[in-house]
């Protein structure tokens, strides 16, 4: 079984184009606040999301091929480091976040700043859907992607964005990354879109992939939104990785 976990500010719709190209059972897991209800007392911390994902995987009752995008990928890596018994393989695109030298991108730093962060998310979540599309597009998000994301950008999502990013302010990710080598307990794939500017430089990403024992899939000319902007290339690389990993043979690395 394939399990997919999306990130910020996303819903399961981020996976539509990839799922259409995967000839296997797929389950899409929605983190609380991102297309799923927020439990009472939810603080939206990195640790809470890791525990949420562990519980979701335990409920599936079988080991899975776990794939994550954006902060969903960070949740994937956190599970790979702590509960590899739940996984058959893992794939993630933000491994560079766990490098000691990683500095959060400018928008994340805004969200991590009291006052500025609230104003930022309110400027998005207070708009109607057409307004959200325009604002997301103004951030540089391709309009077709913005149209997918905008309906889910509600107040609950905004609160979870702030809680999650503030819990991950440095040195939090550096501390989590100290255990990155434990992710090598299961075959991993580091997805490296060359035009993604928010996940560390290529040296950081390759360094983290090596520490995690992961193969790399470089997506040339592809941006952060690879599930929607490069679904064919993504699906092909995932299928090749699984075909080899399930036989215990390393796939081609580029």
- pLDDT digits 0-9 by tens, 145-172: 999 999 999 999 999 999 999 999 999 9
Instruction: State residue 2's pLDDT score.
Output: 98
Q: How many CB atoms lie within 10 A of CB 51?
A: 15
Residues 6+ positions from 233 with CB-CB distance below 8 Å: 219, 222, 226
Start-to-end C-alpha separation, the chain: 26
Is the model's pLDDT at 252 over the cut of 80? no
- When pLDDT is cut at 50, 70 and 90, the band that residue 23 belongs to is confident
Fold of the 2-103+172-245 domain: Rossmann fold (3.40.50)
- What whole-number percentage of the chain has pLDDT above 70? 98
> What is each CA distance from 238 to 156, 161, 234, in whole angstroms?
32, 28, 6
65 and 1 Cβ atoms separated by less than 8 Å: yes
Cis peptide bond N-terminal to 171, omega within 30? yes
- Average pLDDT of the chain is 95
Q: pLDDT band at 250, cuts 50/70/90?
A: low
Residue 251 — very low, low, confident or very high, per pLDDT cuts 50/70/90? low
Confidence grade of residue 140 (pLDDT, cut at 50, 70, 90): confident
Q: What does the domain layout of the chain look like in residue ranges?
A: 2-103+172-245
Most confident of 86-90, 135-139, 250-254: 86-90
pLDDT digits (tens, 9 = 90+) for 76-111: 999 999 999 999 999 999 999 999 999 999 999 999
Q: Which two tokens stand for residue 217?
A: 């899939």
Average pLDDT over residues 223-231: 94
Nearest CA-CA partner of 9 in 182, 217, 164:
164
Q: What is the mean pLDDT of residues 122-146?
A: 92
Q: What is the pLDDT of residue 77?
A: 98
């Amino acid at each position: 079984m394939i399990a997919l976990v999306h990130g910020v500010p996303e819903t399961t719709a981020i996976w539509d184009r990839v799922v259409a190209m995967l000839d296997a059972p797929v389950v899409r897991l929605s983190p609380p606040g991102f297309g799923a209800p927020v439990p009472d007392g939810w603080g939206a911390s990195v640790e809470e999301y890791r525990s949420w994902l562990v519980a979701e995987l335990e409920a599936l009752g079988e080991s899975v091929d776990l794939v994550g995008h954006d902060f969903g990928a960070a949740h994937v890596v956190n599970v790979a480091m702590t509960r590899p018994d739940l996984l058959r393989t893992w794939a993630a695109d933000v491994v560079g976040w766990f490098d000691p030298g990683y500095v959060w991108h400018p928008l994340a730093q805004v969200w991590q700043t009291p006052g500025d962060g609230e104003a930022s998310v309110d400027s998005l979540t207070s708009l109607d859907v057409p307004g959200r599309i325009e604002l997301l597009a103004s951030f540089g998000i391709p309009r077709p992607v913005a149209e997918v994301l905008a309906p889910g950008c509600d107040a609950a999502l905004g609160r979870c964005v702030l809680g999650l990013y503030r819990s991950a302010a440095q040195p939090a990710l550096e501390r989590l990354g100290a255990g990155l080598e434990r992710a090598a307990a299961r075959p991993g794939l580091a997805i490296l879109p060359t035009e993604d500017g928010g996940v560390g430089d290529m040296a950081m990403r390759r360094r983290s992939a090596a520490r995690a024992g992961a193969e790399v899939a470089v997506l040339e000319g592809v941006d952060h939104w690879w599930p929607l902007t490069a679904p064919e290339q993504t699906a092909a690389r995932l299928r090749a990785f699984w075909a080899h990993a399930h036989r215990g043979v390393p796939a081609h690395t580029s």
